[in-house]
Chain A
Amino acid sequence: MTVYTQNLAVSQYGIQYAGSVTEVQDLAVGDSITASFDQEATSNQQTSLLDVEDNDIVFTLVNCTISPTNVKNRGTFTITPTSSGAAYSCVGVLIYYSPSGQSYGGPSTDHQQTTFTISGFYGVAPRMGLQLYNPSGDLRLDTSDRQVRAHSFYMGSFYSGGSATVTGITGFDPNDETWAIDVLPISLYISFTASAGQFTITRSSADPFTLEAFWKVILFRV
């Protein structure tokens, strides 16, 4: 769990321009950043420009939080990513008073801004399990995969109005999503219900197709 330091600064000579500075910091799970954003104003610039409105930096945060949330120029704060396996970004914009004629590219004729950006990728948690690759380097099994495994299949036939019930399926629980179910035929006149250890497939008597029809139920584990 590393705490990185990122102190981003824009030179005093850029104060009348729309300055920007960007840093990239990739993080492992549990890491965070102690940061500060500094428009390096001279003492005179600080008094005559930044202190006039003394604005907070306005943040746009993606997949991260900051603490404290109210930060001024040169203030120190902590960036904490929130989404493992995703990119994060912390963009801070400092808007300050800059008299007319010195606001090249600023948000208004008497304001200028500096943009600070820290971004990167927040790593996934340490992975446990088995990975298998083929000789070409393609994954055959990954630690997040679920593997379909055979359990059983059942077949029969019925006429309209008929049904079939199978009982005694050891361990079968339709509310447990490690069980997967395939049902044939697919028809508006077919219904299928299941409960622990059993299922029933029914063909409605309203089925206008009167010939014998085949049914099949396949159970998988996944």
Chain B
Amino acid sequence: MTYGFQAINESDFLQIDDDSTSFSVIATGTTNGTSYVTIPNNFPEDIFVVVRPANPDPQYAWKLRGFMYDYTPDQGPNIGVRFRRAYMSCNDDRYSYQDKGCDYAIIERVDSSGFTAPTSGYGLNVYRANGDIGYSSEFPTYRVKSTRNYLISASNSGHGIWHTPIGNDQVLGMYAYLASYSEYRNRLYSIGGSERGFLSYYRLAHFDYPNNQFGTHIQSYYSDASRGSTEYDRVYSVLRTEMVGYVT
């Protein structure tokens, strides 16, 4: 870039330039006893969803489970019907599972067809060389405070705290990028002779409000399995990005 506008943050990460396109909030809401939000099919393909516990009691750490779902059956009664959903539920540390409400925001490109062009006449709009808008301060956005890429495997779950806010930032209020906070591994194994056990492992977003930290928490569930069953170990072995930040 030899001319135009560029904003670089205090840690040298590029925030805005006139070659790239940023994102703004297209929809927000709160779930209450429902496990998923329907994503309208006319929303762009590259939207993403961020989620946080709704009205959490901050004296406890909270867990978020959830994932994106996008499926179009090619047979059966719903053939050709696209189901596009963001699943989410929250619980505080006293429980292994609760279907507590979540705040969510759906984020879209500012140049997508569903974006309302800025009209207020204030703030900052940055346009790309082709005239498309690339950044606008008109609408709320996802202000990422920390991110990491993690290759999930059987031996590397990514468990642990990986973001501690600095300055006046607080995890209370932040949203997690809705990555794969769901079952990432299950295995059926011998517990002696032909006896079998089954373990299911979940990766959960961990909002540790009392200690003002954010991370990933692994939770497992055990059950007995049928004697003599074939042993296996299945892993969602995927390189994923995790992010945490504000929606303002």
Contact = CB atoms under 8 A, between A and B. Distances in A.
Interface in B1-21: 7-11, 13-16, 20-21
Interface residues of A, number: 54
A56 B46 CA distance: 64
Nearest to A135: B122
Contacts of A128: 10
B237 A191 contact: yes
B137 A222 contact: no
A155 interface: yes
B22 A192 contact: no
A143 to B, nearest CB: 5
B244 to A, nearest CB: 11
A211 B9 contact: no
Given A146-B9, A150-B21, A221-B20, A182 B241 contact: yes
Contact of B9 (A145, A155, A175, A220): A145
B235 interface: yes
Contacts of A85: 166-168
A132 B15 contact: no
Contact of B46 (A130, A142, A218): A218
B238 A142 contact: no
A157 B180 CA distance: 20
Contacts of B69: 184-186
Contacts of A186: 67-69, 180, 182, 236
Interface string A124-148: 1001111010110011111111111
A185 B143 contact: no
Nearest to B74: A212
B14 A221 contact: yes
A66 interface: no
A37 to B, nearest CB: 31
B231 to A, nearest CB: 13
Given A174-B149, A181-B240, A211 B180 contact: no
A214 B238 contact: no
B147 A222 contact: yes
Contact of B248 (A140, A146, A150, A212): A140
A144 B239 CA distance: 25
Interface in B100-147: 107, 109, 111, 120, 122-124, 135, 137, 140-147
Contacts of B109: 150
Nearest to A199: B239
A187 interface: yes
Interface in A110-132: 124, 127-130, 132
Contacts of B21: 149-150
Contacts of B238: 183, 190-192
B202 to A, nearest CB: 12
Contacts of B140: 138, 140
Contacts of A216: 45, 70
B179 interface: yes
A119 B161 CA distance: 29
B143 A139 contact: yes
Contact of A188 (B15, B145, B186): B186
B68 A146 contact: no
10 contacts: A134-B123, A138-B248, A145-B143, A146-B9, A147-B143, A148-B141, A174-B149, A179-B149, A180-B241, A184-B70
